[in-house]
A = this chain, B = another copy of it.
């Protein structure tokens, strides 16, 4: 090893880092963590999920110095809050790094000047390459039909969610249309529905207890579900409009047991490829009028969607498809993307279940085993989040974990009990491993 490098032995992994960068990173990391923990303690719930911790230090450093990704020393990590509150998919960083130049994208200064991408398409701001990459990837995986669907691109599926509500709730509705989802539901839905007190739609919470009284309603079906990983179908026995949020219906998380053909389906690259910072999602929409209204919404609120992000997302999605359809072009020596994700999540869930079963403090949901039509594997869902229940007399699971310097999101944000907390399983490896270590400490201390 050269003089200019320092090695950090972490479990079975050796990281080679420039010595200067390491010191610098540690200083930045410690300083940031002090600031962020103070911010967290000060802001409390207001910032649910979107304050940050050391992911940022590592992430920012990774942008500036790609070679130093994951450069958080285990000794400093032990003192830190581990932020597993949000589903920041930094787990995927190491995969894309080992793929080298396969997904590098170059933009010239004169590219993508115009607002317009494809005047012939209903969604005029969508890059044709992106639309093609979406169709190709769904075709490779078999998780959703794309024939006879309109594709609408959005700034993440978050923006598409609001576009769907705009499209489904007519402007002349006499009163806001009820929006419901079975609890526990994604914590973002209530605030995204009600943030500007819309006269078009109103969050009405748990679909299981919704009294529809013949009113029109929109039911959100998230499958696999965020936060608890369950496979979902509509629960309201009525004729409401359904929106299927299929962000996690990819073969690293769940067996692909059917080809989805719902009226409106939402997807996002954040959870599919791991590129959350790119802010790209897409909707597959059967009804042309709905797709047009969604496009209109995106026009009003942001005059379209970043071309750079669309073009980069297309490159990455096509690389994933190449891994199955054109292996030579991809890289024969590397695992195809979904196989990597499946194996890594399997490893993590194995560790997590072992840690939970090693004590009596926590429990986890179990999932039925299904055969994946894509991979041929039989497995149970291994979600991006662990929906942990604190057993016994611990009534505030989020607070309990926080005492152990683990930041999670409490059950109440999901319309559920504070006995539960959602913990991300797709963080940087070091953070996940430190989380497991702290679970062991909790178990061995008897509380």
Contacts and interface: CB of A to CB of B under 8 A. Distances in A.
B107 A105 contact: yes
Interface string A34-75: 011000000000110011110111011011001001000000
A421 to B, nearest CB: 20
Contacts of A227: none
A99 B109 contact: yes
A198 to B, nearest CB: 4
Interface stretch (A18-26, A152-160, A240-248, A373-381): A152-160
Contacts of A100: 109
A250 interface: no
Contacts of A35: 119-120
A15 to B, nearest CB: 15
A418 interface: no
Contacts of A166: 195-196
Contacts of A57: 119
A274 to B, nearest CB: 6
A93 interface: yes
A392 B98 CA distance: 69
A419 interface: no
A256 to B, nearest CB: 24
Given A52-B116, A53-B119, A86-B115, A110 B198 contact: no
B119 A278 contact: no
A301 to B, nearest CB: 6
A38 to B, nearest CB: 11
22 contacts: A35-B119, A50-B115, A50-B303, A55-B119, A56-B117, A60-B116, A62-B111, A62-B113, A88-B114, A89-B114, A90-B113, A97-B110, A102-B109, A104-B106, A105-B106, A109-B319, A115-B276, A196-B198, A197-B198, A278-B307, A279-B302, A279-B306
A142 interface: no
B117 A60 contact: yes
B278 A308 contact: yes
A438 to B, nearest CB: 21
Contacts of A120: 31-32, 35-36, 56
A107 B110 contact: no
Interface string A100-132: 111111111111111111111000100110000
A308 B314 CA distance: 13
A116 B306 contact: no
A277 interface: yes
B305 A279 contact: yes
Given A171-B197, A302-B302, 16 more contacts: A55-B116, A56-B119, A59-B116, A60-B128, A62-B110, A62-B114, A96-B108, A116-B277, A155-B305, A156-B303, A188-B300, A195-B301, A199-B199, A277-B307, A278-B306, A279-B304
A116 to B, nearest CB: 4
A116 B56 contact: yes
A145 interface: no
A108 to B, nearest CB: 5
A255 to B, nearest CB: 25
B104 A107 contact: yes
Interface string A296-339: 11011111111111011000100100000000000000000000
Query: What are the nearest 8 A-B pairs in CB distance?
Result: A197-B199, A103-B109, A56-B119, A52-B119, A59-B114, A112-B277, A96-B110, A306-B306
Contacts of A234: none
